[in-house]
Amino acid sequence: MAKADIHDVAKAAGVSISTVSRAFTRPELVSEKTRRKVLDVADRLDFNISRSATALKSGRTNRVALLMNEDISSWFNTEVFAGIESVMHPAGYDISLFQHIDTAATRREFFTDLPIRRNVDAVFVASFAIDPHEVEQLRRIHVPIVGINIPSTDGFDASISIDDEGGMRKAAQHLISLGHRRIVYPCSEAVEDMGASIDARARGFIRACEEASARRDLDWRVLTVPRGPEFVDSALSALLALDEFPDAICCQMDMMAIPLVLKLERYGRSTPRDYSIVGFDDSIYAREMGLTTMRQDPRAMGRAAADKALRLINGEDLGEAHEIVEPQLVLRGTDAPYAA
């Protein structure tokens, strides 16, 4: 009696298979008494409705795809995943994860084979510099396509993205308004590639500085360092090599800011005493560290994206399909007014 099927249950409960089915999926159509009996028997026989059969019958797959350019283990990706999961799982969906769609080879493989075709009810594209041709390919699977932090909404049925440029501009403005004069932006393509976000953030910094320069004296610069696992050390060297150490440092992400603070401490540069620094993300350890930073909430973005997907799947109407969210400045302990 390894596996009882719906017939076994029907027989044991003295009803038809239709009734067994209804007892599970439309309990209100079955008399209290019959239902209890059926569910009882089912429990005794370790029976449950088969998702595969339900899926087949209904024409839905109860599965969604999530595309990420790199590994799920970065802070951003994990949070997005958790957010999507928290909505989709209770709704009965599995998430089929496609990571590392980053090299030319994996991209081609994915977008030409399109393994998810006819096998998902929606597609999420997370923080992914997807190109228009690829979106076009995706559309061929004829399901809603929802983006999270995507460079362009073209071809997407819905999306939610963070305003990277505006956020970083706000961060720089904060530093400037504190009175700092020498302000530096260490910039690299990080190991954990955030794709287009990196560029947008740099633009925000530059914009804030240019705007401020029109009004007052400001010595600002972008310090470009090579990407790779040593990007923090590269930034550190570049910073230390400056003629004059800056009053303020604006970082593209907390993963840059946090190690920098630690390492600078060892070179006798202490924040906020000697310099102000602000991060971006409000990710792991930022709170522990007391890092002043721009907060974004990728988990909430995941949830919002999932809500949209669900509505799209059910043919409902979306209020606004495409959303932009503003990161928030979180003041903690690494910024202080300029004191010459």
By CB under 8 A, name the binding residues for a copy of itself: 2-3, 46-53, 55-56, 61, 63, 71-73, 78-79, 81-82, 85, 89, 94-99, 114-115, 117-119, 140-142, 232, 258-259, 261-262, 265, 284-285, 288-289, 299
Minimum Å gap between C-beta 245 and a copy of itself is 19
Tell me: does residue 56 bind DNA (CB under 7 A). Answer: yes
Cβ neighbour number for residue 324 with a 10 Å cutoff: 12
25 binds, among a copy of itself, DNA, none (CB under 5 to 8 A by kind): DNA
Q: How far apart are CA 27 and CA 30, in angstroms?
A: 5
31 binds, among a copy of itself, DNA, none (CB under 5 to 8 A by kind): DNA
71 binds, among DNA, a copy of itself, none (CB under 5 to 8 A by kind): a copy of itself
Nearest residue (CB) to a copy of itself, 40 versus 71: 71
Cα distance from N-terminal residue to C-terminal residue, the chain: 82
Backbone φ/ψ region at 274: left (φ over 0), alpha (ψ -120 to 50), beta: alpha
Helices (H), the chain: 6-13, 17-25, 32-44, 51-58, 75-88, 104-113, 132-139, 164-177, 196-213, 231-240, 254-266, 286-289, 298-313
Return the H-helix or E-strand segment holding 49.
Answer: none
Minimum Å gap between C-beta 118 and a copy of itself is 4
152 binds, among DNA, a copy of itself, none (CB under 5 to 8 A by kind): none
Nearest residue (CB) to DNA, 56 versus 222: 56
Cβ neighbour number for residue 308 with a 10 Å cutoff: 27
Give CA torsion, residues 155, 161, 165, 169, to 10 deg. 160
Minimum Å gap between C-beta 121 and DNA is 14
Tell me: does residue 54 bind DNA (CB under 7 A). Answer: yes
CB–CB of 180/276 below 8 Å?
A: yes
Stretch that binds DNA, among 30-38, 61-69, 179-187, 235-243 (CB under 7 A): 30-38
Residue 154, Cβ density class (10 Å: 0-12 exposed, 13-18 middle, ≥19 buried): exposed
Q: How far apart are CA 211 and CA 139, in angstroms?
A: 41
Q: Which of 53, 242, 284, 331 binds DNA (CB under 7 A)?
A: 53
Tell me: does residue 29 bind DNA (CB under 7 A). Answer: yes
Tell me: does residue 120 bind DNA (CB under 7 A). Answer: no
Q: How far apart are CA 54 and CA 177, in angstroms?
A: 60
Tell me: does residue 12 bind DNA (CB under 7 A). Answer: no
Nearest residue (CB) to a copy of itself, 71 versus 154: 71
Tell me: does residue 39 bind DNA (CB under 7 A). Answer: no
Q: Can you give the binding site for DNA, defined by CB under 7 A?
A: 3, 5-6, 14-19, 21-22, 24-26, 29-31, 33-35, 47-50, 53-54, 56-59, 118
